[in-house]
A = this chain, B = another copy of it.
Amino acid sequence: MLLSGEYIAGFVDGEGCFSITIGKHHTTKNRLDPRLNFEIELRGDDREVLEMIAETLGCGRIYELNYDRYGWYPHVKLKISGIKDIAEKIIPFFRKYSLFAKKRFSFEIFCQAAKVFEDKQHLTKEGIEKLIYLKTQMNKYSSRSSIRQGAGKPRARREES
C-alpha cells in the first residue's frame, strides 16, 4: 500500500536518520570508506509500516536486527545507501515533501554530501575531507551532540504507559 508523501515526511522527521559514515577500508587508496545512509529503525512489530514506506519511496532494503544481547525486542531497519537511489529517489522525495523538524538541517547537509558522491569526489582526499567536515556539521543536529552521549531521549519516556 502506498502512503502519502506528507505522511512519510512526518514519519521521517520523527524517526528517520540521514547520516554520513567514514569507515576504514583495507584496499581503498585512502584506506577510508565514506558512505551515505538513510535509515528508519523501528521495533520489529512495526515492520508493516516500514514496508509501506519502502514501497512508496520505491527503494530500500529492510533488515531484521537482533538485540537479544540487550534484552530488547527485535527491530527492523529500512536502509538506503546506494548513491543512485539517494540521488534519484530520496533527495527528490524530500525536496517535494518537506521536513519541518530540525532534521531538515541534517537533510540539507546530506544533499551536499550526496553531491560529493555524484561527482565521484568521495574517492579523493579532498572529497573525503569535505565529507568529514559535513559529518561534523550534521552531528550538531544529532543526538550525538547531547550533553552526554546516548542521551537523545530520556529512556523513562519510553516506559510511560
Given A10-B6, A45-B102, A100-B49 in contact, is the A19-B150 Cβ separation under 8 Å?
A: no
Q: Identify which of residues 48-81 in chain A touch chain B, using a CB-to-CB cut-off of 8 Å.
A: 48-49, 52, 67, 70-73, 75
Q: Which A65-116 residues have C-beta < 8 A from chain B?
A: 67, 70-73, 75, 97, 100-102
Residue contact B158 to A150, C-beta cutoff 8 Å: yes
Inter-chain contact A101/B46, CB cutoff 8 Å: yes
A138 CB within 8 Å of chain B: yes
Known: A10-B13, A11-B13, A19-B161. 14 other contacts (CB 8 A): A3-B10, A3-B100, A7-B10, A21-B161, A48-B102, A49-B100, A75-B154, A138-B161, A142-B160, A144-B160, A144-B161, A150-B156, A150-B158, A152-B155
